[in-house]
A and B are shown apart, each in its own frame.
Chain A
């Protein structure tokens, strides 16, 4: 047993972090926030050229052939840069879904650079039960709809971007004419797709939280009030320590779950990945809130990245059923097994 990233994964993490720090600067984020999609598309193509968007596609199918942990490491690094790209949706959820029940033509298209957007319910649960949304949409993306266990692709010719979404970096697009997924339980393959997606979302949340902590600590170490650095006040120190516990504990469950999801049974994958999203999703919201508190006034300005982190933390911890569905699954397991024993 060895719990920790490999040297290659550490290198991958550092590489993506460096790339993301340069690529996703404030100006690109501002452009994305103003619905300038070209900026998001350019960034996405750059990720594709690096082979990062096909991490989950095996090499024999033309992908990069990485593990889920590899993909999660990339998602974390992009989260740390608060990157306005649909990585979790288009590079984790969509390829997992295509590999589980898609056509080989769609997989080939994805490898060639096509973007797929998974369709979720209006309450962001998955699969959609009624009128639906394309999750983390990008121009040109093809929507993946699950209808009665079968995958259907829908071209989004005239995308209608949701006006009331609170996170402009990850747009949602209304999908008409859909959808009724029947209530039969998900197949084992689809439960694993959901597990992969949950831990992907959790990884991005971990990245958001880790950079929120880093920024707060950096600021507390230089900002002076009352003639001393604010980081020397216990009130500030304890906020930062709480953030550290949230970040490191999230890291433990996210890395652990990313490994288990691929190597263990579908039940185990579901259990671990639900825990990852439940904890890392909630923790990211707490940490991004505390970071804003430490940053003081500048943390609540439009131009600062802090509110974008908090917006994305909320969206990602609600996506694909989010923290609530994750807790529901975990709580349901405990009740069922207690009745089985009792």
Chain B
């Protein structure tokens, strides 16, 4: 154990802390997604200009060429500074590093990381949710390219996006995990229709994407035909940690807001107990994240164990929201209504990115080795 920063880590932390002290906006994050989106994007662009986004991506593709521990430091310092949420899109760049051609990397990665081009993930379908390998969107070889038909669902930030990392079936005769390929899909081409799905809190965070005879060139495929499943799994693995999603910072900010807004008529001892239990859990999430990143940084493959992080992150969010409803001011206030929206949104945490039940199957079978 040595949680001290190395010299370069300490230098990085100091620069970052200084920048955050001058640049974190004061106002509370807007409640409506349309406004919140602009708020988050504006902050993240400034963060990028200052050199604090895409830390562990190579410099030549618009990253900072730093390590995973710097990602951990970023997450800690954003939390400490009560910074706005970051857009959880960084993981969509991962397949470009692992599977894309050099041309694709050079063309797509820098604007993706800079947020000049917004990406979304076209994985789930009406009949392929938890059972993701069941996808039916078809990509048929045609004129040196592919013709694509099908429907995608639960596409995060679909209405805001310019490009989609798309999974489609290229070989219907192959075993179901083997016949899937990954594509770069521009959302403004003929045959693509994006329709928002309005969530229970009013946010249009997700979308349906209809693909009706969409034609993509042969250079739109990422990796080889049939590598789609592998690409999907490695992308999802980067979506499960609290650092990947920036949620550690988000939850810390929520807890700070709650501590300010808490109903003063409640028993002080009860308030301390409830806030303390959330504060403890957020520290657990921070240490868990640090431990996993440290293992990854030293070359260990976390693999299926990332499901621990996803489950812990969901537990933290849902516990925080339950406590917020217990402690927030009376029912006539806008503050309580805002917490209720966050609470409703928190119910999605145990569904998206692989439901909690799927994560538990993974842990039981692949980590604990229980019989299938």
A220-B370, A232-B371, A338-B259 in contact; A253/B284 too (CB < 8 A)?
yes
Sample of 13 more A-B contacts, CB < 8 Å, known A1-B2, A1-B6: A232-B370, A236-B370, A240-B370, A241-B361, A241-B368, A252-B291, A263-B3, A275-B284, A278-B280, A330-B280, A331-B273, A331-B276, A333-B279
B21 adjacent to chain A (CB < 8 Å): no
A249-B288, A253-B283, A338-B260 in contact; A260/B276 too (CB < 8 A)?
no
B276-A3 in contact (CB<8A): no
- Give complex CA distance A223, B59 in Å: 54
A108 adjacent to chain B (CB < 8 Å): no
Shortest Cβ distance from B371 into A: residue: A232
- Give complex CA distance A6, B294 in Å: 13
With a CB–CB cut-off of 8 A, which chain A residues contact B271?
331, 335
B2-A2 in contact (CB<8A): yes
B361-A234 in contact (CB<8A): yes
With a CB–CB cut-off of 8 A, which chain A residues contact B285?
249
A4 adjacent to chain B (CB < 8 Å): yes
Taking CB atoms and an 8 Å cut-off, the chain A residues in 269-294 that contact chain B are 271-272, 274-275, 278-279
B276-A330 in contact (CB<8A): yes
B291-A326 in contact (CB<8A): no
- Give complex CA distance A331, B3 in Å: 25
With a CB–CB cut-off of 8 A, which chain B residues contact A1?
2-6, 9, 69, 72, 290, 294
B359 adjacent to chain A (CB < 8 Å): yes
With a CB–CB cut-off of 8 A, which chain B residues contact A275?
279-280, 283-284
A4-B291, A237-B365 in contact; A334/B276 too (CB < 8 A)?
yes
Shortest Cβ distance from A242 into B: residue: B360
B364-A241 in contact (CB<8A): yes
Shortest Cβ distance from B257 into A: residue: A338
Shortest Cβ distance from A232 into B: residue: B371
Interface residues in chain B, defined as those with a beta carbon under 8 Å from any beta carbon in chain A: 1-6, 9, 69, 72, 255-256, 259-260, 262, 269, 271-277, 279-281, 283-285, 287-288, 290-291, 293-295, 298, 305, 307-308, 311-312, 315, 357, 359-361, 363-365, 367-372
- Give complex CA distance A236, B283 in Å: 29
- Give complex CA distance A213, B298 in Å: 27
- Give complex CA distance A250, B4 in Å: 21
- Give, as a whole number of angstroms, the nearest-CB distance from A23 to chain B: 27
- Give complex CA distance A248, B369 in Å: 16
B372-A240 in contact (CB<8A): no
With a CB–CB cut-off of 8 A, which chain A residues contact B5?
1
Residue of B275, B276, B290, B359 near A252 (CB, 8 A) is: B290
For the residues of A in contact with B, the DSSP-based class is helix
A4-B291, A220-B370, A232-B372 in contact; A255/B360 too (CB < 8 A)?
no
B259-A335 in contact (CB<8A): yes
Interface residues in chain A, defined as those with a beta carbon under 8 Å from any beta carbon in chain B: 1-6, 9, 69, 217, 220-221, 228-229, 231-232, 234, 236-238, 240-242, 244-245, 248-253, 255-260, 263, 271-272, 274-275, 278-279, 324, 326-335, 337-338, 341-342
- Give complex CA distance A272, B294 in Å: 19
Shortest Cβ distance from A259 into B: residue: B1
With a CB–CB cut-off of 8 A, which chain A residues contact B287?
3, 252-253, 255-257
B370-A245 in contact (CB<8A): no
- Give complex CA distance A228, B360 in Å: 20
B1-A69 in contact (CB<8A): yes
Which 3 pairs across A and B sit closest by C-beta, in order of nearness? Answer: A327-B276, A331-B272, A331-B276
With a CB–CB cut-off of 8 A, which chain B residues contact A271?
283
- Give complex CA distance A221, B271 in Å: 43
A241-B360, A253-B283, A256-B290 in contact; A326/B1 too (CB < 8 A)?
no
Shortest Cβ distance from A278 into B: residue: B280
B276-A332 in contact (CB<8A): yes
A272-B283 in contact (CB<8A): yes
With a CB–CB cut-off of 8 A, which chain A residues contact B294?
1-4
A221-B369 in contact (CB<8A): yes
- Give complex CA distance A6, B1 in Å: 6
- Give, as a whole number of angstroms, the nearest-CB distance from A3 to chain B: 4
A338-B256 in contact (CB<8A): yes
With a CB–CB cut-off of 8 A, which chain B residues contact A257?
287
Shortest Cβ distance from B282 into A: residue: A275
- Give, as a whole number of angstroms, the nearest-CB distance from B26 to chain A: 11
Shortest Cβ distance from B285 into A: residue: A249
A342-B359 in contact (CB<8A): no
Shortest Cβ distance from A236 into B: residue: B370
With a CB–CB cut-off of 8 A, which chain B residues contact A338?
256, 259-260
B269-A328 in contact (CB<8A): yes
B255-A334 in contact (CB<8A): yes
Residue of B308, B367, B371 near A249 (CB, 8 A) is: B308
With a CB–CB cut-off of 8 A, which chain B residues contact A333?
279
